[in-house]
Amino acid sequence: MSKAKPPKAKGIPNKHLHARSTFLYQAATYLTLQTAARDNSTTPDATQGEQALHHGEPVIQRHSPLALQLGSDLQQVSRKAQLRLAVDLKRSMCKSCNAVLITGRTATQTIENPSKDGKKPWADVLVLECNLCGGKKRFPVGATKLLKKARREAAPPVTTPTTASDAHSSDAARLTGADETPNTD
Protein backbone atom coordinates (compact mmCIF):
# COMPACT_ATOMS: atom_id res chain seq x y z
CA MET A 1 0.00 0.00 0.00
CA SER A 2 1.22 3.42 -0.81
CA LYS A 3 1.20 6.25 1.59
CA ALA A 4 -1.46 8.85 1.19
CA LYS A 5 0.01 12.09 -0.03
CA PRO A 6 -0.92 15.19 1.89
CA PRO A 7 -2.95 17.68 -0.14
CA LYS A 8 -0.93 20.35 -1.87
CA ALA A 9 -1.00 23.72 -0.23
CA LYS A 10 -2.93 26.25 -2.25
CA GLY A 11 -1.30 29.56 -2.81
CA ILE A 12 1.09 31.42 -5.00
CA PRO A 13 3.65 29.27 -6.80
CA ASN A 14 7.22 30.49 -6.34
CA LYS A 15 6.22 32.71 -3.47
CA HIS A 16 9.86 33.23 -2.52
CA LEU A 17 10.56 34.75 -5.96
CA HIS A 18 7.65 37.16 -5.59
CA ALA A 19 8.97 38.14 -2.16
CA ARG A 20 12.45 38.65 -3.59
CA SER A 21 11.22 40.82 -6.46
CA THR A 22 9.14 42.91 -4.04
CA PHE A 23 12.17 43.40 -1.80
CA LEU A 24 14.39 44.40 -4.73
CA TYR A 25 11.86 46.98 -5.91
CA GLN A 26 11.37 48.44 -2.43
CA ALA A 27 15.13 48.63 -1.83
CA ALA A 28 15.77 50.29 -5.21
CA THR A 29 13.01 52.83 -4.54
CA TYR A 30 14.32 53.57 -1.05
CA LEU A 31 17.90 54.08 -2.25
CA THR A 32 16.73 56.28 -5.12
CA LEU A 33 14.71 58.47 -2.75
CA GLN A 34 17.57 58.70 -0.26
CA THR A 35 20.07 59.68 -2.95
CA ALA A 36 17.69 62.30 -4.36
CA ALA A 37 16.95 63.69 -0.87
CA ARG A 38 20.67 63.84 -0.02
CA ASP A 39 21.39 65.69 -3.28
CA ASN A 40 18.63 68.21 -2.57
CA SER A 41 19.74 68.85 1.03
CA THR A 42 23.42 69.42 0.24
CA THR A 43 23.97 72.41 -2.01
CA PRO A 44 27.24 72.80 -3.88
CA ASP A 45 29.59 75.62 -2.97
CA ALA A 46 28.72 78.97 -4.46
CA THR A 47 31.92 78.94 -6.49
CA GLN A 48 31.21 75.51 -7.97
CA GLY A 49 27.63 76.48 -8.83
CA GLU A 50 28.74 79.73 -10.43
CA GLN A 51 31.48 77.98 -12.39
CA ALA A 52 29.04 75.39 -13.69
CA LEU A 53 26.57 78.06 -14.74
CA HIS A 54 29.23 80.22 -16.41
CA HIS A 55 30.65 77.32 -18.42
CA GLY A 56 27.17 76.17 -19.53
CA GLU A 57 27.52 72.84 -17.76
CA PRO A 58 24.39 71.56 -16.06
CA VAL A 59 24.59 70.58 -12.42
CA ILE A 60 24.56 66.78 -12.53
CA GLN A 61 22.25 64.92 -10.19
CA ARG A 62 23.86 61.77 -8.83
CA HIS A 63 22.15 58.38 -8.89
CA SER A 64 22.86 55.48 -6.61
CA PRO A 65 24.70 52.72 -8.50
CA LEU A 66 23.35 50.24 -5.96
CA ALA A 67 19.76 51.26 -6.81
CA LEU A 68 20.49 50.72 -10.50
CA GLN A 69 21.99 47.31 -9.74
CA LEU A 70 18.93 46.31 -7.70
CA GLY A 71 16.68 47.37 -10.59
CA SER A 72 18.76 45.26 -12.95
CA ASP A 73 18.57 42.29 -10.56
CA LEU A 74 14.78 42.71 -10.41
CA GLN A 75 14.54 42.48 -14.19
CA GLN A 76 16.82 39.42 -14.27
CA VAL A 77 14.87 37.59 -11.54
CA SER A 78 11.55 38.25 -13.23
CA ARG A 79 12.83 37.09 -16.62
CA LYS A 80 14.53 33.94 -15.35
CA ALA A 81 11.58 32.86 -13.21
CA GLN A 82 9.06 34.04 -15.84
CA LEU A 83 7.25 36.18 -13.29
CA ARG A 84 4.64 38.64 -14.46
CA LEU A 85 5.43 41.95 -12.84
CA ALA A 86 2.57 44.21 -11.84
CA VAL A 87 1.65 46.92 -14.34
CA ASP A 88 2.37 49.70 -11.83
CA LEU A 89 5.81 48.24 -11.13
CA LYS A 90 6.66 47.95 -14.82
CA ARG A 91 5.52 51.50 -15.48
CA SER A 92 7.74 52.86 -12.72
CA MET A 93 10.97 51.29 -14.03
CA CYS A 94 13.04 52.54 -16.96
CA LYS A 95 13.46 49.82 -19.58
CA SER A 96 16.91 50.89 -20.74
CA CYS A 97 18.75 51.73 -17.50
CA ASN A 98 16.55 49.99 -14.85
CA ALA A 99 16.25 53.16 -12.78
CA VAL A 100 13.18 53.71 -10.62
CA LEU A 101 11.16 56.52 -12.23
CA ILE A 102 9.96 59.01 -9.62
CA THR A 103 8.29 62.09 -11.04
CA GLY A 104 10.17 65.25 -10.11
CA ARG A 105 13.29 63.41 -8.94
CA THR A 106 14.43 60.85 -11.48
CA ALA A 107 11.84 61.43 -14.21
CA THR A 108 10.09 64.28 -15.97
CA GLN A 109 6.37 63.95 -16.66
CA THR A 110 4.62 65.76 -19.52
CA ILE A 111 1.35 65.37 -21.41
CA GLU A 112 1.47 65.56 -25.19
CA ASN A 113 -1.32 65.63 -27.72
CA PRO A 114 0.04 64.71 -31.15
CA SER A 115 -3.26 65.42 -32.91
CA LYS A 116 -3.51 68.46 -35.17
CA ASP A 117 -3.60 71.55 -32.92
CA GLY A 118 -4.46 69.29 -29.95
CA LYS A 119 -8.12 69.14 -31.00
CA LYS A 120 -8.65 65.50 -30.02
CA PRO A 121 -8.78 65.25 -26.21
CA TRP A 122 -8.76 61.44 -26.38
CA ALA A 123 -5.31 61.56 -28.02
CA ASP A 124 -3.54 62.79 -24.86
CA VAL A 125 -0.37 60.84 -24.09
CA LEU A 126 1.49 60.89 -20.77
CA VAL A 127 5.25 60.90 -21.40
CA LEU A 128 7.68 59.89 -18.65
CA GLU A 129 11.28 60.76 -19.50
CA CYS A 130 14.13 59.24 -17.51
CA ASN A 131 16.57 61.90 -16.32
CA LEU A 132 19.42 59.39 -16.25
CA CYS A 133 19.38 57.94 -19.77
CA GLY A 134 16.77 60.04 -21.56
CA GLY A 135 14.51 57.07 -22.32
CA LYS A 136 10.82 57.81 -22.77
CA LYS A 137 7.73 55.83 -21.83
CA ARG A 138 4.36 56.76 -23.29
CA PHE A 139 0.95 55.94 -21.82
CA PRO A 140 -2.46 56.87 -23.25
CA VAL A 141 -4.52 59.10 -20.97
CA GLY A 142 -8.31 59.07 -20.88
CA ALA A 143 -8.73 56.56 -23.71
CA THR A 144 -11.10 53.66 -23.14
CA LYS A 145 -9.45 50.29 -23.27
CA LEU A 146 -10.72 48.00 -26.03
CA LEU A 147 -11.78 44.44 -25.34
CA LYS A 148 -9.50 41.67 -26.54
CA LYS A 149 -10.16 40.57 -30.10
CA ALA A 150 -11.73 37.24 -29.12
CA ARG A 151 -14.19 38.99 -26.80
CA ARG A 152 -15.00 41.66 -29.40
CA GLU A 153 -15.95 38.97 -31.93
CA ALA A 154 -18.01 37.03 -29.35
CA ALA A 155 -19.99 40.08 -28.26
CA PRO A 156 -23.24 40.64 -30.19
CA PRO A 157 -23.07 43.58 -32.55
CA VAL A 158 -24.88 46.66 -31.40
CA THR A 159 -27.11 48.12 -34.07
CA THR A 160 -28.18 51.70 -33.85
CA PRO A 161 -31.18 52.94 -35.83
CA THR A 162 -30.28 55.45 -38.49
CA THR A 163 -33.60 57.28 -38.57
CA ALA A 164 -36.45 57.80 -36.15
CA SER A 165 -38.81 55.65 -38.27
CA ASP A 166 -36.36 52.70 -38.06
CA ALA A 167 -36.28 53.02 -34.28
CA HIS A 168 -40.10 52.99 -34.01
CA SER A 169 -40.51 50.04 -36.39
CA SER A 170 -37.91 47.90 -34.59
CA ASP A 171 -39.51 48.71 -31.20
CA ALA A 172 -42.95 47.77 -32.51
CA ALA A 173 -41.64 44.51 -33.98
CA ARG A 174 -40.01 43.61 -30.67
CA LEU A 175 -43.18 44.29 -28.74
CA THR A 176 -45.41 42.24 -31.07
CA GLY A 177 -42.91 39.42 -31.38
CA ALA A 178 -42.74 39.69 -35.15
CA ASP A 179 -39.55 38.93 -36.99
CA GLU A 180 -37.68 41.88 -38.43
CA THR A 181 -37.09 39.98 -41.68
CA PRO A 182 -40.26 38.95 -43.49
CA ASN A 183 -40.68 35.28 -44.38
CA THR A 184 -40.99 34.77 -48.16
CA ASP A 185 -42.29 31.14 -48.04
Q: How far apart are CA 108 and CA 130, in angstroms?
A: 7
Q: What is the pLDDT of residues 57-104, one digit of tens each?
A: 444 556 789 999 999 999 999 999 998 889 999 999 999 999 999 998
Q: Is residue 168 part of a domain?
A: no
Q: Is residue 10 part of a domain?
A: no
* Number of domains present in the structure of the chain: 1
Q: Is residue 145 part of a domain?
A: no
100 close to 43: Cβ distance less than 8 angstroms: no
User: Percent of the chain scored above 90 by pLDDT?
Assistant: 34
36 close to 105: Cβ distance less than 8 angstroms: yes
Q: How far apart are CA 24 and CA 73, in angstroms?
A: 7
Q: Is residue 165 part of a domain?
A: no
Q: What is the pLDDT of residues 123-143, one digit of tens each?
A: 889 999 999 999 999 988 877
Range of the domain at 92: 15-140
Rounded to two decimals, what is the model's pTM?
0.62
Of 42, 19, 21, 39, give the one whose Cα is nearest residue 31: 39
Q: Is residue 122 part of a domain?
A: yes
Q: Is residue 55 part of a domain?
A: yes
155 close to 147: Cβ distance less than 8 angstroms: yes
